[in-house]
C-alpha cells in the first residue's frame, strides 16, 4: 500500500508545472525516496524495541531468511500476472526505447502508458520487498545484462529477464549461506557489491546505451 501511494505521489509531483517526463519522474522518485528513508529512520530511532530494530535493520539489508511460504499464495499470482501484462505490452515498451517524440510521430502517446506501468511496477515491488526486504541493483543489472545477450526486443526480454533474475537470486542466496561459515550474509549486501561495479561499467561503456540508441 505504501509503495502504491508513493507512486501516486510521484506521478502527482512529476505532473506539477507541466506534463511529466522520464527525468521529472526520476527526480520526483528520488525526492520521495529520501523522505521515506528519513521517515523509516525516524521510526527506528525512537523505537524502544531492540529485537524489532534488529529485525528492521536485517530487512533493510535484504534477506530471504524471513520469507514465508504462506506469502507465496499472494505474491506468485501478482508477479506472474504482472509479468504477463508487461509481456503483452512489448510493442509499447519497444517504442519507449525510441523516445517520446519518435513515438508520437508513430501515433502513440507514451505519457499514459508510462504512468500505468509505474503503478503496476510499484505493486510488484511492494509485495516482493515486503517479503524479502530491499535487495538493490537486481532490477538495474539483470535486465541490462540480458539485453546485451539477446537484444532489446521486449517480447523476448521480459520473460527471459524474469527467469534470469529469479535464478540469479537463488544462486546469490546460496552463496550468502556459504561465504561466511555458520553465518548467513544478507543477500542485499552481496548483490550491491556485485551490482554497483557492474552498473558503473555499463555507464562508462561507450558501446552500450541502456537499450536506447
Average pLDDT of the segment spanning 81-99: 90
Residues 21 and 67 in one domain: no
Residues 102 and 74 in one domain: yes
Q: Is the pLDDT of residue 107 over 80?
A: no
Which parts of the chain fold into alpha helices (H)? 2-14, 22-46, 50-61, 72-88, 90-96, 100-105, 110-132, 138-150, 154-178, 187-204
Residues 112 and 78 in one domain: yes
Average pLDDT of the segment spanning 25-37: 89
What's the domain range around 3? 1-46
pLDDT exceeding 70 applies to what percent of the chain?
Answer: 96
Average pLDDT of the segment spanning 85-98: 90
Residues 7 and 86 in one domain: no
Q: How far apart are CA 67 and CA 131, in angstroms?
A: 5
Residues 36 and 107 in one domain: no
Residues 132 and 187 in one domain: yes
Domain count, the chain: 2
Average pLDDT of the segment spanning 187-192: 86
Average pLDDT of the segment spanning 102-116: 80
| Mean pLDDT, the chain, integer | 84
Residues 38 and 61 in one domain: no
For residue range 141-161, list pLDDT tens digits in order. 888 889 888 988 999 999 999
Amino acid at each position: 500500500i505504501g509503495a502504491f501511494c508513493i507512486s501516486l505521489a510521484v506521478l502527482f509531483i512529476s505532473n506539477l508545472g507541466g506534463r511529466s517526463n522520464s527525468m521529472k519522474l526520476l527526480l520526483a522518485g528520488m525526492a520521495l525516496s529520501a523522505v521515506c528513508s528519513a521517515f523509516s529512520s525516524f521510526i527506528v530511532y525512537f523505537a524502544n524495541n531492540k529485537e524489532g530494530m534488529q529485525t528492521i535493520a536485517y530487512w533493510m539489508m535484504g534477506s530471504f531468511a524471513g520469507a514465508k511460504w504462506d506469502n507465496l499464495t499472494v505474491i506468485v499470482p501478482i508477479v506472474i500476472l504482472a509479468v504477463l501484462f508487461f509481456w503483452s505490452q512489448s510493442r509499447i515498451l519497444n517504442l519507449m526505447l525510441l523516445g517520446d517524440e519518435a513515438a508520437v510521430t508513430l501515433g502513440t502517446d507514451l505519457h499514459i502508458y508510462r504512468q500505468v506501468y509505474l503503478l503496476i511496477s510499484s505493486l510488484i515491488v511492494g509485495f516482493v520487498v515486503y517479503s524479502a526486504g530491499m535487495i538493490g541493483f537486481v532490477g538495474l543489472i539483470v535486465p541490462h545484462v540480458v539485453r546485451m545477450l539477446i537484444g532489446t526486443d521486449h517480447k523476448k526480454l521480459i520473460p527471459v529477464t524474469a527467469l534470469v533474475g529469479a535464478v540469479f537470486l537463488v544462486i546469490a542466496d546460496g552463496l550468502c549461506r556459504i561465504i561466511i561459515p555458520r553465518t548467513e550474509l544478507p543477500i542485499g549486501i552481496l548483490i550491491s557489491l556485485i551490482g554497483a561495479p557492474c552498473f558503473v561499467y555499463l555507464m562508462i561503456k561507450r558501446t552500450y546505451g541502456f537499450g536506447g540508441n
